[in-house]
Amino acid sequence: MQKIKNLVNKYRNTDLRLKLKYLNKITNINFYPKYFSNKGLNSFWSKIIFYLIHKEYSRKDFKFKYNLFKNLESDLEKSNLILTFPRSGTTYLKMLINSYFELFYKLGNGKGKYISALDEFTFNIDKQLELNLFSLITENYDSALIYSDYKNYTSRLKRSNYIFSHYPISDIDLFKINKNKKILFLLRNPEDAILSYVKFLSNFNSYLGEDRKSLNSIKHKKLINDYKKFFNFFINYENKCLVKFEDLTKNPYETIKKIFNYFGNEFDINLMKEAIEKCDKKTLISDLSATLEFTNRFSSESQAYLNEDINLKDNINKMLDFEIKKYKEIK
């Protein structure tokens, strides 16, 4: 009886393509043809196969992601949460950590690959767990994972165990932040953060060859209010540790050491120093495959455009007067 159950389970879990190819073999009938026509009578069978495979994939994709969803909160609870304001060193800190774990797991050389269209660096480690439902549902996972034994997926992940978010200015709806959760905050001088954010948005389309956004189209007051919202959450949260962007860029090793120590994590000193070397800005630029002026991450093309609005800095300083003074006071 057990043997029959095993055969039934094996049949149910076998990829539809393999089933059809097996039928090809034993019947000499092309249930799974070598070429799928989209014209004429043959297109009718192509449509049926398209529908069946799509349905199977959708079902497996749902089961995979729903299984992640059911276990996500407990997995996130075990993770180290880092909240950052945009343009405050998020990418650099992510790179340092991801580079280290790529080296630690021996999955690559620790060098991130810059994806211009996404304006981010990718590493050969598993993605961080999603923090909101929509992102979890729409995330593209490798089809090999979708068709594999996904029940123990999170236990087999080779990732950094550090979760990044811009909360509270972005959503976290899959995880409740309770007052006992240890959070590390990454902040930057308010004026520099907003100016960098404006520069980023004004330059965002230039590397894609589109028209640069004018400063007038950028709602910098919203960006300022976002900073106020983020800073207010930081000030009022108790179980926290602060890392300043300025310290991270000037002394990355001591800053990373502070972060790992805060979360109670050990690290290999030599591997961490190697990761820091791999993520050095000059090294990254020299290794960059794309033309510099067409990379939003490094291009300074729009810096001059900040001078078009002479009131911009005044607005920032007036609206963020409290935050600027408080930031300078915090050590």
Radius of gyration of the chain (CA): 25
pTM: 0.83
Count of Cβ atoms closer than 10 Å to residue 73 Cβ = 12
- CA distance linking residue 120 with residue 112, whole number of Å: 9
Task: Please enumerate in sequence order all residues whose Cβ is within 8 A of that of 281, keeping only pairs 6 or more positions apart, or say none.
Answer: 298
Rounded Cα–Cα distance for residues 92 and 280 (Å): 9
Query: Does residue 186 sit in helix, strand or coil?
Result: strand
Predicted pLDDT at 268: 96
Question: Would you state the pLDDT for residue 294?
Answer: 47
Which residues touch 32 (CB under 8 Å, ≥6 apart)?
Answer: 17, 20, 21, 23, 24, 49
SS3 277: helix
Sheet hosting strand 183-187, strand order edge to edge: 162-165, 80-84, 183-187, 240-244
The 8-class DSSP code of residue 189 comes to: -
- At 5, which helix (H) or strand (E)? helix 2-13
Give, in words, the CATH class of 81-125+160-329: alpha beta
Q: What is the pLDDT of residue 197?
A: 86
Q: How would you write the pLDDT of the chain (331 residues) with one tens digit per residue?
A: 777 777 667 767 788 998 899 889 999 999 999 999 999 988 999 999 999 999 999 999 998 899 888 888 777 888 899 999 999 999 999 999 999 999 999 989 999 887 776 677 888 887 778 899 999 999 888 887 787 765 655 555 656 689 999 999 998 999 888 889 999 999 999 999 998 888 777 765 544 444 555 555 567 788 999 999 999 999 999 999 999 999 999 999 999 999 999 999 999 999 999 999 999 877 776 766 545 554 555 555 555 556 555 677 888 889 999 999 999 999 7
Beta-carbon contacts of residue 81 (< 8 Å; ≥ 6 apart): 163, 165, 177, 181, 182, 183, 184
The whole-number pLDDT of residue 209 equals: 46
DSSP-derived 3-state class of residue 24: helix
- 121: enclosing H helix or E strand: strand 120-122
**Quick one: pLDDT at residue 211?**
52
- Of 66, 71, 45, 54, nearest to 143 by C-alpha is 54
